Amino acid sequence: MFDPKFRPKLHPIPRLTQALVLAPVAAGILGTVLPSLGWMPVIGARDWTLAPWRLLFALPGLERAVLTSLTVGFLSTALALILVIGLLALARDTLWLSAARRTMALLLAMPHAAVALGLAFLLSSSGWVARMVSPWATGWVLPPDWPTIQDPWGFAMVAALLVKESAFLLLMALAVESSLDSVRSGALARSLGHAPGEAWLRTVLPRLYPRLRLPVYAVLAYGLSTVEVALVLGPTTPPPLSVLVTREFLDPDLSRRLPAAAGALLQLGLVVGGIGLWALGERILVRLARPWLSAGPRGRDAPALRLAARLGPALVLPLGLGGLVGMGLWSVTGQWRWPDALPRTLSTTTWSRQADALAWPLANSLSLGLAVALFALLLSLGCLEAERRSGRRPGRVVDWLVYAPLLVPQVGFLFGVQILLLAVRLDGTWIGVAWSHLLFVLPYVFLTLAGPYRRLDPRHATVAACLGAGPLRVFLVIVLPLLARPILAALAVGFAVGLGLYLPTILVGAGHWPTLTTEAVALASGANRRIIGVYAILQAALPLAAFALAVALPAWMYRDRAGMGDPWR
Amino acid sequence: MALILDDLTVLLGGGPLFAPLSLTVEAGEVVTLMGPSGVGKSTLLALLTGTLDRAFTPRGRVTLEGRDLADLPPERRGIGILFQDDMLFPHLTLAENLAFGVPRGEGGGEGGGNRQAARWTKVEAALAEAGLAGQGSRDPATLSGGQRARAALMRTLLSQPRAVLLDEPFSKLDATARARIRAFVLDHVTARGLPTLLVTHDPEDAHGRVVTLDPPSIPPDEY
């Protein structure tokens, strides 16, 4: 909003940020395309050939793997979106929404791997749910033989993604909705005779969805390509495409890298095609819904809809929370015999025995998580302050660029990134891992901060400048303190996201930098449930602590400032 | 000691937003600038403060006490502004708000500690003048609308501006407070001999000489 000629330029920061994010993504994709065509001099492959693709399609179970990925991606995204829409439209004035909102914030803080492990605790055939209903209801004296998790269709994965992504989408939707004056437009539609649910669907949703589109695409991209959720809950023979490709990449036989690169591109195509298909579906739905938008009121919301809106969260919330409680319980379990509903004895032995083994991954999780979140915050602040000073309208292009690492599947470019880092000798280093984390942390930090930053009343800065304050003083004394809440929230979000990263840590770190997440996923197949519980609960507890601090700290700092009320409400 | 606008307008997409305005506001004089909503009153004020959106291009000249303002950043123009909202910084106390704009090099002329003390003495005196003596540690959000408006004026005056802009500063006050605050503000700016430009669309707020901001004679899209 400022006359540009008076403002010190901050150009380098947005440029640097884009370079830090886009260069690895672009180089990563290139570093995947070339090997898929037979060009990978490091391992002596210099023939341009389609052989890697033939090898890929010869992999047993490939079609099945692709099908599983598609099922999981589309089903989890559609269900999460429906759940969020139902909750906002039809559970508006109920306690459900406020309860769901709080719980969902809790679930949002937990890494995907922790949610998946929690669900495995609950749902596995010898898990908590089976124990609670056995043998009196099921007649099972031994854990049943059929698969409840790692089911061949990937439904367990869908459940875990549904828990995580509906939390993400709900909070994103609430943030957008707060700027839409939804209460008044809903009230107006109701005064014209529309039932509350239909009023929301007709007046708010059409304005809300366009701004929810990018998060939805990110959710779809993640569901189509997740590795860590698949490793914990997904089918194994064959696994979803992402895991199949990762396996090939990690094969000691380096020549397998070539079909792996082809597989990574197939995964990329799956995500790009999937998003395209989703966008097409959006258009068709919009066209079909057009007449309905202006149709007259019908009086009541369909009872089935109302029921579904309550049923969805009633199923999802216990899954997420039950998993969290289950993990905690198992980590302090002494003896827990099948089919007892609760452990017979409790003990802290697991914790004390694991203390030594925990120290190194914990230290890595903390150092990477904090440093990367802080760096991402500085870059985001620099970009947003540059934008404010230049008076440029926030461009959608910027947002898309920032979203790039979330829309491109991790397996689609991380292998190429590995090669890039090899070239600059950063592979296997802390800096290299931190950089790879930054790609995924920065988008969330930026997006958490961008809304509040852009909504800041420009007159505050004008008044401060007219009182004689230069740009730096305005930034330090006015802008930063006014944004204390979103800044701390962005830090917490960045920390939580970084903590949950699996594939970048494994691939770029080359095993040198184990974190709580990589250890927990590694333990998931087979190890002692108590130990998994310890890792999983820590993984969930750290981001929760960060979020608690991000809420408590500004509340305490501004305890005597009524005008600094919680902007999230 | 005058604020002089010379053939001033703002271009948007090639066309002027309003007919070029020439105006001299003498020291201690209040000039009211009126115009229909949307004609660009706030844009004109942004041009004067140096915070014009980059979508606009300024045309013409502004001088204050003989200095051309075009090359000065907002913080060095010596122009104070009051908006219709008081814009007290919500994270600072009342006294901190007032102290924000008190120049640091002023007062005492002796040691730094004395200078600091002199700044706070000024703040305390200003608070007393606004009827808020001894209440410097209060949270601005707990003040009444009238108190906040007086505090905002004091904050602006403490920064020792050479001219003052009033952007519909009374429109959000309730009817009883409005007349008193209006008198309070206008008395203070004229008593200090400041050239003051009052922008409003409400004839009731007008004071002194009234100038109208007109739409351009040829609509912008036909330029």
A470 touches chain B (CB under 8 A): yes
**Option in B77, B101, B139 nearest A560 (CB):** B139
User: Between helices A349-390 and A484-499, what is the axis angle to 10°?
Assistant: 130
Q: Dihedral angle at the C-alpha atoms of A139, A143, A149, A151, nearest 10 degrees?
A: -80
Judging contacts by C-beta atoms under 8 Å, the chain A residues touching residue B90 are 482, 561, 563-564
A9 touches chain B (CB under 8 A): no
Q: What is the pLDDT of residue A2?
A: 44
Given a contact cutoff of 8 angstroms between Cβ atoms, the answer to whether A351 and A534 are in contact is yes
Asked if A462 lies within 8 A of B81 by C-beta distance, the reply is yes
Asked if A465 lies within 8 A of B80 by C-beta distance, the reply is no
Give which of A466, A474, A480 to mutate to test B binding, by max B Cβ within 10 Å.
A466
Q: What is the pLDDT of residue A7?
A: 55
Give which of B12, B51, B71, B160 to mutate to test A binding, by max A Cβ within 10 Å.
B51
Q: What is the pLDDT of residue B108?
A: 46
pLDDT at A111 over 60: yes
- Reported as a pLDDT band with limits 50, 70 and 90, residue A484 is very high
- Model confidence pLDDT, tens digit, residues A224-244: 999 999 999 999 888 999 999
Distance CA B166, CA B197 (A): 6
Asked if A561 lies within 8 A of B90 by C-beta distance, the reply is yes
Given a contact cutoff of 8 angstroms between Cβ atoms, the answer to whether A366 and A517 are in contact is no
A4 touches chain B (CB under 8 A): yes
* ∠ Cα A273 A275 A280 (to 5°): 95
User: A528 is written with which tokens?
Assistant: 């002692």
State which residue of chain A sits closest to B164, comparing Cα positions: A466
A465 touches chain B (CB under 8 A): yes
- Model confidence pLDDT, tens digit, residues B79-96: 999 999 999 999 999 999
Alpha-carbon dihedral sign for residues B45, B50, B56, B59? positive
Distance CA A382, CA A490 (A): 14
User: B122 is written with which tokens?
Assistant: 């000024």
What stretches of A322-369 adopt beta strand conformation (E)? 333-335, 345-346
Residue with tokens 């001219």: B163
Two domains, one topology: A14-29+356-560 and A59-310: yes
Of residues A74, A73, A84, A79, the one with CA closest to residue A167: A84
Asked if B49 lies within 8 A of A462 by C-beta distance, the reply is yes
Judging contacts by C-beta atoms under 8 Å, the chain B residues touching residue A482 are 89-91
- Model confidence pLDDT, tens digit, residues A380-390: 999 899 888 87
Task: Give the side-chain half-sphere CA count within 13 A for B184.
Answer: 20
Distance CA A225, CA A230 (A): 9
pLDDT at A504 over 60: yes
Q: Terminus-to-terminus CA distance in chain A, angstroms?
A: 26
A8 touches chain B (CB under 8 A): no
Give helix then strand counts, H and E, for chain B: 5, 10
Asked if A462 lies within 8 A of B74 by C-beta distance, the reply is yes
User: Which residues, at least 6 apart from A95, have a Cβ–Cβ distance to it below 8 Å?
Assistant: none
Q: What is the pLDDT of residue B110?
A: 53
Highest mean pLDDT among A98-107, A122-131, A215-224: A215-224
Q: What is the pLDDT of residue A567?
A: 43
Q: Where are the domains of chain A?
A: 14-29+356-560, 59-310
Give the predicted TM-score (pTM) of the model. 0.88
Q: Of A6-15, A76-85, A464-473, which gets the smallest average pLDDT?
A: A6-15
Q: Residue A418 class from Cβ within 10 Å (0-12 exposed, 13-18 middle, 19+ buried)?
A: buried
The bridge status of strand B209-212 relative to strand B30-34 is parallel
Asked if B103 lies within 8 A of A468 by C-beta distance, the reply is yes
Given a contact cutoff of 8 angstroms between Cβ atoms, the answer to whether A497 and A448 are in contact is no
Judging contacts by C-beta atoms under 8 Å, the chain A residues touching residue B54 are 3-4, 390-392
CATH architecture of A14-29+356-560: Orthogonal Bundle (1.10)
User: B1 is written with which tokens?
Assistant: 């000691």
Enumerate residues 333 to 392 of chain A having a beta carbon within 8 A of any beta carbon in chain B. 390-392
Q: A124 by DSSP, 3-state: which? A: coil
Highest mean pLDDT among A85-94, A109-118, A269-278, B111-120: A269-278
Percent of chain B's residues with pLDDT above 70: 94
The domain over range A59-310 is classified in CATH as 1.10.3720.10 = yes
- Model confidence pLDDT, tens digit, residues A399-450: 667 778 888 888 888 888 887 788 788 888 999 999 999 999 998 899 889 8
Q: Dihedral angle at the C-alpha atoms of A166, A167, A173, A175, nearest 10 degrees?
A: -170
One-letter amino acid at A355 equals A
ipTM confidence score: 0.89
Q: What is the pLDDT of residue A161?
A: 96
Given a contact cutoff of 8 angstroms between Cβ atoms, the answer to whether A514 and A361 are in contact is yes
DSSP A510: T
User: A467 is written with which tokens?
Assistant: 């009182």
Enumerate residues 474 to 533 of chain A having a beta carbon within 8 A of any beta carbon in chain B. 477-478, 481-482, 484
- Reported as a pLDDT band with limits 50, 70 and 90, residue A10 is low
Asked if B91 lies within 8 A of A3 by C-beta distance, the reply is no
Q: Of A45-59, B51-65, B98-112, B175-189, which gets the smallest average pLDDT?
A: B98-112
State which residue of chain A sits closest to B43, comparing Cα positions: A1
Q: A474 by DSSP, 3-state: which? A: helix
DSSP B78: -
User: B15 is written with which tokens?
Assistant: 């066309």
Given a contact cutoff of 8 angstroms between Cβ atoms, the answer to whether B52 and A1 are in contact is no
Judging contacts by C-beta atoms under 8 Å, the chain A residues touching residue B141 are 561-564
How far does the CA of residue A392 sit from the closest CA of chain B (Å)? 7
Q: Can you list the alpha helix ranges (DSSP code H) found in A192-302?
A: 196-203, 205-225, 228-233, 241-249, 257-293
- Mean pLDDT rounded to a whole number for chain B: 89
State which residue of chain B sits closest to A388, comparing Cα positions: B53
- Complete domains list, chain B, with CATH: 3-78+161-222 (3.40.50.300)
Phi and psi at residue A299, to the nearest 5°: 100, -60
Of residues A428, A443, A451, A456, the one with CA closest to residue A373: A443
- Model confidence pLDDT, tens digit, residues A341-362: 888 888 888 899 989 999 999 9
pLDDT at A545 over 70: yes
Distance CA A262, CA A255 (A): 12
pLDDT at B216 over 60: yes
- CA dist list (Å): A435 to A20, A225, A226, A503: 8, 21, 20, 13
A270 or A144, greater pLDDT: A270
Q: Which residues pair with B67 in a beta bridge?
A: B64
Enumerate residues 392 to 431 of chain A having a beta carbon within 8 A of any beta carbon in chain B. 392
In the predicted model, what is the mean pLDDT of residues A71-100? 85
Asked if A484 lies within 8 A of B85 by C-beta distance, the reply is no
Q: What is the pLDDT of residue A394?
A: 60
Of residues A62, A436, A404, the one with CA closest to residue A266: A62
pLDDT at A174 over 90: no
